[in-house]
Amino acid sequence: MYNILGPIIINSVEEFDETGVLMVVHLIAYGVAMCVANVFYTLGYLVDAVLNPTNSVSFRESLFKLGYWFSVSLPVLFIAFIMLSFLFRNH
């Protein structure tokens, strides 16, 4: 996503250059975001154990959907935040 949006957003302001070091930094940051997403996804079990004493299936399904979409959106939002912060910082 960064390599697709980078030239579109950043080239309008300055030269977009993706160096090897920058790619490694972004890879590490993306890995951290993926780990955080998985931690939040795993916390669903604890939330279910505490807030669902009646073992409601509908509560469990809603919690699963919420955790799933949060975990999927977290890495994407991280990249979008980087792009938007660059865009607003330079305009």
* Residue for token pair 């579109």: 8
In three state form, how does the secondary structure of 43-90 look? Answer: HHHHHHHHHCCCCCHHHHHHHHHHHHHHHHHHHHHHHHHHHHHHHHHC
Domain that holds residue 67: 2-89
Please report, in tens digits, the pLDDT of each residue of the chain (91 residues total). 656 666 666 655 555 566 777 778 888 988 887 888 788 878 888 899 899 999 999 999 999 898 888 878 877 887 788 777 777 776 5
Question: What token pair was written down for 13?
Answer: 């302001």
Length of the chain: 91
Q: Is the pTM of this model over 0.85?
A: no
Q: How many domains does the chain have?
A: 1
CB 90 within 8 A of CB 9: no
